[in-house]
Structure formats: structure tokens, C-alpha cells
Amino acid sequence: MERINRFQIRGVPGKVQTLSFDGRRVDYWAPENKTGHLLIAHDGQNVFDRRTATRMTTWKMAQSAVSVSEKLGINPPAIIGVFHSRSDENPWGRFKDLTPEDPFRNGIKPVGAIDPTFSLDHLEGNKYLAQVTDEIAPAICEELGLDMAALDKAIIGSSMGGLASLYALGKRPDFFTTALAFSTHWPIGENPLVDSLINALPKPDIHKVWMSHGDKGLDAAYGPFQKRADALMIQKGWRLNHDFMTKTYVRSGHNERSWAKYIDQTMNFWLA
């Protein structure tokens, strides 16, 4: 772990710390007082810093966490933003990191425009997840003096990050308590991927799942797949509006500005 920088977010106390883990950038923020919650976010470039954000717009994740926690009367969660590995030298880096590896290696065929030079053998979803749970989170929790085993740990992401969040809960239910999936990009594997990820989730005892999407842009195609996922969740015993939430947001699209508008509802679902 190498310390790179620190910066402040308007309206949020303290500093965001920037670290490097074997070349992967990670930003994190934590409240001044000890917290019992940890939120790990995919696409960390869009979490805190508009200078690194895809469209110069962040999720305003820390701002929402502070506001919701204040209303609930609890300390805000610590937040870790993990950057994907896409670069000019590694143009498929995000796809490699966030694609649920096991379902595609076990026979599900990707749908849509995939570069013919890209092989599914190049997927690194399991390696990425292991780095998050076994290296990044423990190092930051140790630095903050937090007992990682005792924390209520959620993972959040959008699009491919939505898939990766559900995959993470299914693969590491011992680590994560909650998956928060925005605009889950089901079309890349269609119904077989829906069935695979939902069936892999743990039993709905101590865990929570949030899934949401809009009705504009890419999100306009998500409805039928999400309805299948919702029905399967209920069939498996998840209790709607209790440990499972599904939402469709009208006039909402596939972008950080849309997700930031309702992330407070998601935070409240997880933290309440």
C-alpha cells in the first residue's frame, strides 16, 4: 500500500485519502468517530472526486452517507472507492474486473458487441474481488483502527458494477452483508445471467439486497430482466421492502447524476 494524496470534499468533514495497491488507485473517506459500517464502491473514480469522474459528476456518496446517518442518529459509514483498471494500455480493464467471472466461465455466453480479440479467459473478476476483500479492505480498516470482522459491510456499484455487487454477495456472504446494485447490466448475459446471480445469493437471513434502474437510455432495456430477478428473489424467500428492495425510477437514466439523486434512499435502506 502506497499513500499518494489526500483531498477534501465540499460539505464533508475530514479528508479523502488516496492510496495505491499494486498500481490500483483506491480513495477512502471515514468519519472522525468510529463507525460500525463500511461501504465499498466499484468505479471509485466516480465516488468522491469530480476531477476523475467519467462525466465530471460523482455519486455524492459521502454527502449522502453523512446526511442519512445524521437523520438515523448513527455515525456515517467509512467509504472505500476502488478504481477499475481500464487504461489506454488495458482498454478491457473495467470489463475484466467487474464481469462476474464464474457464470461466464461456466458456460453463459456474453451478448452484445465484444471485441473478437477479447477472450473470456482474460476475465479477472475473482482476482479483483479477492484484492478488495483480502487486501484493500483489511489494510484500510487496520489504518482506521476498525474491527473489520465486526463491521456491517455493503458493496455498491452501477451497470457492470451492479452485476459485480450481486456477484460479490453471492461469492462472499461471509464478508458482505449487503449488495446495492444500480442499473444492473443484465443484457450482457440476459436471463441465464439473472438466474445464475440470483440463485447464487445467500439465504435471506442477515443479508440485504437493493436493485434499481431507470427508464431512459441503457436502463430502458433492463425492465424485463429485473422483473425476472425480482420474481426469483421472492420465490427464494427474500421479503420485499424488508431485506430486499427493487425500484424503477421514472425519467432516470444510466449516469452518475441519476444515481446520485436517489442514493440517499439506498443508504437509508442499508443503514436503517
Taken in order of first residue, the domains within the chain and their CATH numbers are 2-271 (3.40.50.1820)
Q: What is the pLDDT of residue 11?
A: 87
Q: What is the pLDDT of residue 26?
A: 98
Angle between helices 61-72 and 256-271 (to 10 degrees): 30
Q: Which amino acid is at 81?
A: G
Closest residue by Cα to residue 223 from 197, 201, 252, 202: 252
pLDDT values of the chain reduced to their tens digit, one per residue, 272 residues: 999 999 999 889 999 999 999 999 999 999 999 999 999 999 999 999 999 998 899 999 999 999 999 999 999 999 999 999 999 999 899 999 999 999 999 999 888 766 666 788 889 999 999 999 999 999 999 999 999 999 999 999 999 999 999 999 999 999 999 999 999 999 999 999 999 999 999 998 899 999 999 999 999 999 999 999 999 999 999 999 999 999 999 999 999 999 999 999 999 999 99
- What are the C-alpha distances in Å from 77 to residues 80, 164, 191, 211, 212? 10, 21, 34, 20, 21
- What are the C-alpha distances in Å from 73 to residues 35, 67, 68? 12, 10, 9
Q: What is the pLDDT of residue 115?
A: 67
Q: What is the pLDDT of residue 116?
A: 65
Q: What is the pLDDT of residue 160?
A: 97
Q: What is the pLDDT of residue 103?
A: 96
